[in-house]
């Protein structure tokens, strides 16, 4: 009866994904006032106060409430059984309101607890509390017990009423609790409304079904219940530590399937069961029957796989033991039970009366839900995935791992005002794609000199009205391959549409003349490989251009040095590429001071200078370099003025 068996059952239900076929509710624990609908006030108060630490103070009460043998005091006792009772009562309330057809509470089914005492590991009789809840809306309720022990606590509670019929199939004769004889048929108005079918050791599937189905059919015919409570104790299975029956999992589950076929509001509860590896498998299998799902007999991976060794299957087979229930004995008991049912003559009724309004404790408070969450957990637990649903994760309000990344990228890229690294990274990765083979870009507007800001600190002003911008389709065919290092320019690179201060334009144009040139990839067998991470090498002097990968054509940007002393030291330093990777064969080639500019992001959107190309650092020209070029043009500076004895160039003032 330890909660560990419930945990194992829950794990199998989740592993088989049965939860997708049902709604899940977290019921509130039953209060002391709700428990006193059946149990006495002093008994409930005792349960609430006694603990293992103060048990010595309640020696008299322990004997009075039968806490001496099979019902010890343990930590969390009251909380455990109040939660079990609350779940059963909540399931009954949902059946009353028509919100569910079948409710399951495997932690319930404690059928031995009495009004003023505990018995047989049962402290609070959740079954009686649930039936009392059902009687608020239903005229007649049928209780069926397939536990190996007699359901004495439930029978005693309704022994004198005709609104509840109890039917128990149990072991009788020198067996706990010692009640449940064939002659126990009820008293007063409840006479013939208590059905007991005493059985002997070793009953198998065939013998059990030969008496279970006819008796239940007779009860449905004569009593005509409005709701059913089914207690599925698994100590009637073969191999149980305390049971003595020989039922297989299929024989036990056939009882559940048969009751379900009557299509009545049904509350399914747990009960006894002391071989936990069998308890969890049978209850998981019966959950699949109740939701109408076929289950593979090979167990899926779960947290308690070692418990099911060595066969690792769902089945619980019957043993090879003797069946002490002869056909003659079973037929005699069955005929007597059916004869008692015929004596009821008609289905009892009750006077119509107003029913108090129910409190919907299971409805989630809308104010407490997260408005930014697609499907909050309370709603997701209640959701049932349709049979035709192709994407179960979407139906449950979840995101698969493979789609989480997409969701995050979309949220970031769709945020126009965001300048997070993820946002610009997505744009830049698109900029860095290779051009299509054979594509040529034409009608390119010449670069405005004001787009090269030499003296500015790197701010990005707005674009002039006459400046041409590239479209998104043009950016897709940029000659820069993804991941290729980019040579630095002799000015701060800015996005399309960005201009600097007009006064610095003349100085920039005197350093570099930018014009579009057409290039083609090297011949077969050339140094550069297609799609290889190479970069243009900008060295001192020369007039070389950028070598594209083989088979690529497009428009490049060639920078020509207009200064007369382009070969002098330092003149090329303003255009030196800083990439650590060079194309093969270009280490010693005197290439031109070539600077590749990349088209900007989406037309009309200006990005800061730090987001020009993937892998490109902010490009700024050192003040010493600008002063060096200006003085050389005026003839005031010489090479010796800036070389010291160690060969280092220093800034002369």
Cα distances (angstroms) measured from residue 159 to each of 163, 220, 587: 10, 19, 102
Both structure tokens of 23: 């709604």
For residues 35 and 129, is the Cβ–Cβ distance under 8 A? Answer: yes
For residues 251 and 209, is the Cβ–Cβ distance under 8 A? Answer: yes
Answer whether the bond into residue 97 is a cis peptide, omega within 30°.
no
User: Residue written as tokens 């200064």?
Assistant: 563
Element housing 269 (H / E): strand 266-269
Q: Which residues contact 561 (CB under 8 A, 6 or more apart)?
A: 511, 512, 571, 572, 575, 592, 593
As to burial, measured by CB atoms within 10 angstroms (0-12 exposed, 13-18 middle, 19+ buried), residue 445 is: exposed
Active-site residue 138, yes or no?
no
| φ, ψ for residue 211, nearest 5 deg | -110, -30
Q: Which of 10, 112, 137, 252 is catalytic?
A: 112
For helices 327-342 and 205-222, angle between their N-to-C axes, nearest 10 degrees: 10
As to burial, measured by CB atoms within 10 angstroms (0-12 exposed, 13-18 middle, 19+ buried), residue 394 is: middle
User: Residue written as tokens 């194309």?
Assistant: 583
How many degrees, rounded to 5, is the angle at CA 568 between CA 565 and CA 571? 80
Q: Which residues contact 435 (CB under 8 A, 6 or more apart)?
A: 476, 477, 478, 479, 552, 553, 554
User: Residue written as tokens 């005792």?
Assistant: 46
Q: Residue 306 and residue 386: Cα distance in Å, rounded?
A: 33
Residue 224 CA neighbour count, 13 Å, CB half: 8
Q: Which residues are annotated as catalytic?
A: 112
């Amino acid at each position: 009866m330890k909660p560990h068996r419930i945990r194992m059952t829950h794990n199998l239900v989740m592993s088989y994904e049965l939860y997708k076929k049902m709604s899940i509710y977290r019921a509130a624990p039953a209060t002391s006032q709700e428990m006193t609908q059946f149990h006495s006030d002093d008994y409930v108060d005792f349960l609430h106060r006694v603990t293992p630490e103060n048990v010595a103070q309640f020696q008299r009460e322990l004997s009075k409430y039968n806490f001496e043998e099979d019902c010890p005091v343990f930590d969390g006792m009251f909380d455990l059984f109040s939660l079990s009772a609350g779940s059963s009562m909540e399931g009954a309330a949902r059946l009353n309101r028509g919100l569910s057809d079948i409710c399951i509470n495997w932690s319930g089914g404690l059928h031995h607890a009495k009004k003023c005492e505990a018995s047989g590991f049962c402290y609070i009789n959740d079954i009686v509390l649930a039936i009392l809840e059902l009687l608020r809306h239903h005229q007649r309720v049928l209780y069926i017990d397939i536990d190996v022990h007699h359901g004495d606590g439930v029978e005693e509670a309704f022994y004198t009423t005709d609104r509840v019929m109890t039917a128990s199939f149990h072991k009788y004769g020198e067996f706990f609790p010692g009640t449940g004889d064939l002659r126990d048929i009820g008293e007063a108005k409840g006479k013939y409304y208590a059905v007991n079918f005493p059985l002997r050791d070793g009953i198998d599937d065939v013998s059990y079904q030969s008496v279970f189905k006819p008796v239940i059919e007779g009860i449905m015919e004569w009593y005509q219940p409005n709701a059913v409570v089914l207690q599925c104790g698994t100590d009637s299975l073969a191999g149980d530590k305390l049971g003595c029956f020989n039922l297989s999992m299929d024989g036990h589950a056939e009882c559940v399937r048969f009751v379900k076929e009557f299509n009545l509001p049904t509350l399914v509860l747990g009960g006894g069961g002391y071989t936990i590896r069998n308890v969890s498998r049978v209850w998981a299998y019966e959950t699949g029957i109740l939701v109408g799902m076929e289950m593979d007999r090979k167990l899926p991976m779960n947290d308690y796989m070692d418990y099911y060794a060595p066969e690792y299957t769902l089945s619980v087979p019957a043993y090879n033991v003797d069946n002490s229930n002869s056909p003659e004995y079973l037929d005699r008991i069955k005929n007597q039970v059916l004869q008692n049912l015929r004596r009821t003559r008609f289905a009892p009724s009750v006077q119509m009366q107003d029913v108090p309004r129910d409190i919907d404790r299971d409805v989630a408070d809308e104010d407490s839900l997260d408005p930014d969450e697609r499907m909050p957990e309370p709603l997701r637990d209640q959701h049932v995935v349709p049979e035709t649903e192709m994407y179960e994760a979407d139906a449950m309000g979840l995101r698969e791992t493979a789609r989480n990344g997409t969701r995050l990228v979309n949220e970031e890229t769709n945020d126009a005002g965001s300048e997070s690294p993820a946002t610009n990274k997505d744009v830049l990765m698109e900029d860095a794609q290779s051009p299509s083979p054979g594509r040529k870009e034409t009608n390119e507007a010449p670069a405005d000199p004001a787009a090269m800001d030499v003296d500015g600190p790197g701010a990005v002003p707005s674009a002039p009205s006459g400046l041409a911008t590239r479209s998104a389709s043009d950016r897709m065919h940029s000659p820069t391959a993804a991941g290729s290092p980019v040579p630095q320019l002799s000015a701060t690179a800015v996005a399309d549409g960005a201009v600097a201060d007009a006064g610095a334009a003349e100085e920039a144009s005197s350093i570099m003349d930018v014009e579009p040139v057409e290039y083609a990839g090297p011949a077969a067998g050339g140094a550069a490989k297609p799609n290889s991470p190479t970069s243009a090498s900008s060295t001192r002097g020369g007039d070389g251009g950028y070598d594209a990968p083989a088979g690529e054509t497009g428009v490049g940007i060639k920078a020509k040095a207009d200064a007369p002393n382009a070969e002098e030291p330092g003149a090329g330093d303003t255009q030196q590429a800083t990439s650590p990777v060079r194309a093969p064969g270009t280490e010693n080639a005197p290439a031109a001071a070539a600077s590749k500019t990349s088209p900007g992001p989406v037309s009309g959107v200006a990005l800061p200078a730090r987001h020009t190309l993937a892998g490109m650092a902010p490009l700024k020209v050192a003040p010493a370099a600008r002063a060096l070029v200006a003085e050389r043009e005026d003839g005031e500076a010489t090479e010796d003025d800036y070389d010291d004895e160690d060969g280092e160039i220093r800034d002369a003032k």
